[in-house]
Structures are given as C-alpha cells and as structure tokens.
Amino acid sequence: MRKKYVLLILALFFTILSYFLAITNFKNFNPFVNQDFSYKIYPCNKSSEDINLINVQTKNNSIIFNQTLMLYCNANNDNFKLKYSKKNNELLIREVFNAKEVTRCVCPTIIEGSITNIERGNYKLRFLFVNKYVNMNEELDFFEIQII
C-alpha cells in the first residue's frame, strides 16, 4: 500500500514538472522572480544633488522610476535589494537593506527600475524602505498613477 502512494506522488511530481517544462522556455526565466519588475542599483554617487528623490513616469503599460536614496556606504547587491508586490490596485516596492554591520558614512545611491505589463486602471504606488539592521520601516513616497 505504501509503495502505491510513493508511486502516485512520483507520478504527480513528474506530471507537474513536465507541464512546467512544456510552458516555459527558460530563457531569462526564474519562476521565483517577478518578470514584470526590474531594477539596477548604481554605486555611491557623491556628485548627486537630488538626495532622497523619487521620479515616476508612465509609458504605455509600464511604470518607470528613478531614485536617489541616501544609503550606508556598504550597501551593495548582496545586502540591498528591491522587492515588488501587487495586490489589486496597490503596487509596493520594498527597498530592503539587510546587513549585519553598517558603516558610519552614507552616500547617495541611484536606483533605476520599471514595472511592466500593467493593465489599464488607477494604481497607488508606494515605496517603502525596510532597514533590517535597525528593524525600521519607512514610507519614502506615495504616487497615484493612471495607466491608459
């Protein structure tokens, strides 16, 4: 009897795996990453004058943003990441700093990103800074956006 359950579970697993392989092409595909959200973080930019400023634009069915954020000098791609989520008409970009140690210095860091494949409608876009070093969340900005 136990052998039947094991075979049934294996058959189910391989069926799901086969279906997954049939519908994906794996080119730039990661099922654990939202494919409609991308961003790039540039290293410390001491010449930047627009400190803690977020610009948001819409183009077709996309939202494009660029931001200058004061971050710890040791922020990098290993300990600072952006995470995007969507719930109904609420769009949230969480900027998560997660380091065990921080430097005493801070510097302006430029972030550029986009959210694509957004359906027509009205949305609320929030930027939230999550500092896990000091266990603090701070809403950086809030935008009401219309995709036509």
Give the list of residues 6+ apart from residue 51 with CB closer than 8 angstroms, or none.
68, 70, 108
- Residue 26 forms part of a structural domain: no
Helix, strand or coil for residue 15? helix
What's the structural domain count of the chain?
Answer: 1
- Residue 140 forms part of a structural domain: yes
- CA 59 remoteness from chain centre: 19
- Residue 72 forms part of a structural domain: yes
Span 45-97, pLDDT tens digits: 776 665 778 999 999 999 999 999 888 888 888 899 999 999 999 999 999 99
- Residue 127 forms part of a structural domain: yes
Whether 102 and 79 have beta carbons less than 8 Å apart is answered as: no
Span 14-36, pLDDT tens digits: 666 555 545 444 434 445 445 79
Task: State the residue for tokens 């500092």.
Answer: 131
- Residue 22 forms part of a structural domain: no
- Residue 74 forms part of a structural domain: yes
- Residue 105 forms part of a structural domain: yes
Average pLDDT of the segment spanning 133-145: 92
Q: How far is CA 76 from CA 7, 31, 43, 81, 119, in A?
A: 46, 24, 8, 8, 32
- Residue-number span of the structural domain to which 135 is assigned: 32-147
- Residue 9 forms part of a structural domain: no
Q: Taking the model in full, what pTM does it have?
A: 0.73
